[in-house]
Amino acid sequence: METPLNNRPTIENGFLRAILYLITGFVLCGMVQLMYSTSADVVTYNEVNNPQTILDILKSYFVIKIGLVLVAFLFMVLVNRELIRHLGFRWEGSSAFAGFLVGFFIITIGTVVLLFTKNIYFTDIGTEDTDIFYATLLCIVVAFIEEISIRGYFLKNLMQSMNKWVALVFASLVFALLHLDNTDITLIAFVNIFIAGILLGINYVYTKNLWFSILLHFSWNFFQGPIFGYKVSGMSMGKSFIKQIAQGSDMISGGDFGYEGSVICTILQVILIVGLIWYYQKKYATKKVAENQENDFLAA
């Protein structure tokens, strides 16, 4: 059935919608950052040479980046002519929980490996002097903003104009490029963020649902920064529950960039990507066989 003319997107090409969204969103963010950073006694979350509290980082990130979400909502209504919930907000508890577990697995298993290979060691555990409350809020804000903008709107529209896997690779490359100005980024870190974009987007490619990637993104950052004390994509998350020091090869430990700069992270992500693709391919192949059998039965 064809979509009625008055419900069709005002811009038919999904790739063009995605690119216009990025341009509009980041122009708005840049303008807000310029105004915000010129305010008295204010530093933005990516001004790494200035001392900041985790609350400062939380406030500046939210003020500067929330425009990406607002623009995504406006584009959905005015350009796509769809409901905002069609970004992928249908609640799926099992999918959300699975995403949370994937993030926990990548950080925790990797940390255990780094500890046993003596590439990191813990210096303090369980102190009361932490920033976990504000750091947790920051992890939530980052997960929602980046998933709504990159997977929710950008990837969604790319998939309407090209092969879904090409769209996923392109969206993941953009996701990685947006981290290029992060402090202490290395080639391995850039590759890992690109691979993370693939991992975050696989569920969306198959289900068009955001909850898996939102919870994965949140748990990844939460266990990485506030719990285990790594930098998150090169950014300090304040005083963590566990304090640690990296030693040995930066390629193994991640060095100053944090766990995302480690080849251990690379290996675990690739294993999970292969596992997820296998799972979804098997799931949807089984579903298709069941549907064909039902159709054959009804036709008999």
Please report the pLDDT score of residue 38 as a whole number.
77
Query: Could you tell me what percent of the chain has a pLDDT over 90?
Result: 71
Question: How much is the pLDDT for 101?
Answer: 97
Q: Name the DSSP class of 260.
A: G
Task: Write down the pLDDT at residue 23.
Answer: 96
pLDDT in tens, 258-268: 999 999 999 99
The whole-angstrom separation of Cα 21 and Cα 32 is: 16
pTM (predicted TM-score): 0.90
| Token representation of residue 172 | 């993941």
Buried b (16+ CB within 10 A) or exposed e, 48-85: beeebebebbbbbbebbbbbbbebbeebbeebbeeeee
pLDDT of residue 298: 45
- pLDDT recorded at residue 242: 92
pLDDT on residue 48: 46
- Would you state the pLDDT for residue 217? 98
For position 182, what pLDDT does the model report? 86
The pLDDT, as a whole number, for residue 2 is: 46
pLDDT lower than 50: segments of the chain: 1-2, 48-49, 289-290, 293-294, 296-298
Tally of CB atoms within 10 A around 95: 20
Q: What was the pLDDT predicted at 49?
A: 44
